[in-house]
Amino acid sequence: MIDADAQQENPPYRNNHSTPATHTPPPDSLISPTASLDYWSRTPASITGMLGGYPQISLTDLRGSRSFLTKLRRGPSGSFTPSSHKRLKLGVDCGAGIGRVTDGFLRHVARWRVGGRAGDHGDGDKYDLIWNQWCLGHLTDSQLTAYLRRCVHILQPAPDPDSDSTSNDNGVGEGGGGGWIVVKENMSTDPSGGDIYDELDSSVTRTDDKFRRLFADAGLEVVRSELQTGFPKGLGLYPVRMYGLRPKKERWRESHAS
């Protein structure tokens, strides 16, 4: 089941409204929710609008996401198992916009519904998949860390290590290690190696190093990461990276100790 959270995608295009990391104050301190909402309220609710005028990358993006999730669920061995191809029971698409990712990809791998917010889920269910794509740039560093920590609390936990069971019936993947948090976002290409602020939609494009530091601060470890491939080079798009995340063991025990 996929909960589509009504945010917007922040597509991988570059533009002339970007402020490099050398700008003071820090790029994420410039983020304005009001400016972001104003931008998206004026953007057509279409694939072209969601992807910044590049609808031709949508299919490649969706295929890349599905391939990444398949490899993530198969685990280090990369082998096919019945568990790794089960339909997920419950998931959330954070940043669903018009539902492009939900409709084109996630509904094929999980049961889904529309409504709800990741990190603010009150019915006690645990998610097998929390998908975050092209939306986290609208959060400051501290907000992103806090958000990811909340995600841990609603993630399907790993099975009890003292149990005889070696698999989880939710089909999250090899060994039944619990649910996944996936982040798919643009990567900064700033020559100085810092984040980039985009005043057009009031968002930040982060570096790989920054993302990994924030993941660690949130108690998450990167299980798998790879770059999206196949986008036309002539479009001048940002690199896009996918991260498969799980809580560090001690963090998971703390968050599900109640």
CB atoms within 10 A of CB 174: 19
pLDDT at 86: 83
Whole-number CA gyration radius for the chain: 18
Q: Is residue 67 part of a domain?
A: yes
Query: Which domain range does residue 43 map to?
Result: 2-6+25-239
Q: Which one has a higher pLDDT value, 124 or 182? A: 182
> How many whole angstroms separate alpha carbon 28 and alpha carbon 13?
19
Q: Is residue 141 part of a domain?
A: yes
For range 202-218, the mean pLDDT:
99
**pTM of the full structure:** 0.85
Give the CATH number for residue 139: 3.40.50.150
Is 193 labeled as ligand-binding? no
pLDDT at 159: 74
Q: Is residue 134 part of a domain?
A: yes
Beta pairing, strands 2-5 & 113-114? parallel
Q: Is residue 92 part of a domain?
A: yes
Q: Is residue 179 part of a domain?
A: yes
Phi/psi at 245 (5° precision): -115, 145
> How many domains is the chain built from?
1
Q: Is residue 246 part of a domain?
A: no
Is 95 labeled as ligand-binding? yes
Unique residue bearing structure tokens 């995608």: 9
Is 7 labeled as ligand-binding? no
pLDDT at 110: 87
> How many whole angstroms separate alpha carbon 209 and alpha carbon 133?
18
Q: Is residue 107 part of a domain?
A: yes
**pLDDT per residue as tens digits for the range 15-60:** 545 665 555 899 999 999 999 999 999 999 999 999 999 999 999 9
Report residue 188 as tokens. Answer: 């900064």
CB atoms within 10 A of CB 77: 10
